Amino acid sequence: MAVKIRLKRMGKKKQPSYRVVVADSRSPRDGRIIESIGRYDPRQDPSLIEIDNERARYWLGNGAQPTERAQKLLEISGAVEQSQSRGGVYRLDAAPTPPAAEKAVEEAAPEVAAEAAKEEPAPEEEAAPADEAESTDEPAAADEEPEA
């Protein structure tokens, strides 16, 4: 069963308010739901957004896919981070790293590598004697037969 987190329209004509619900993707917009996890009232100033973040994380962890509008509401309420929700895969156990820290590490990495290359000259390869020693051991092991 494909489960979605989406909005269910409530209220009178021309006065919409919504419930954030978990429902089967095949059911109609205002039809049968599995669980109601919050509400959204866009007519208030500022808009009212009440979402049970614990239940939202539970359903996302179980594979529920939010609609575009529900995804934005989950980001605003703090149920998911923006970086987590963009790829469509919700990893709720790992803490996201801030983008500023990643940029600092990426900028520092080429500088550190360039400094290390300047300080240490490239070592000469002495792998030939090691290869010869390994090659002499291998045929000796192949000549020996296990005693029965």
Could you tell me where the DSSP H helices lie in the chain?
A: 53-61, 68-77, 82-86, 99-119, 127-143
What pLDDT, on a 0 to 100 scale, did the predictor assign at position 95?
46
**Among the CATH numbers 3.40.50.10490, 3.30.1320.10, 3.30.565.10, 1.25.40.80, which is that of 3-86?**
3.30.1320.10
Q: What is the pTM assigned to this prediction?
A: 0.55
Q: Which of residues 100 and 47 earns the better pLDDT score?
A: 47
pLDDT (tens digit, 9 = 90+) per residue, 53-103? Answer: 999 999 999 999 999 999 999 999 888 876 555 555 555 554 444 455 455
- The fraction of the chain above a pLDDT of 70, given in percent, is 55
Structural tokens at position 94: 């790992």
The answer on pLDDT for 5 being more than 70 is: yes
Report how far apart, in Å, the C-alpha atoms of 2 and of each of 66, 85, 116, 130 are. 11, 18, 53, 59
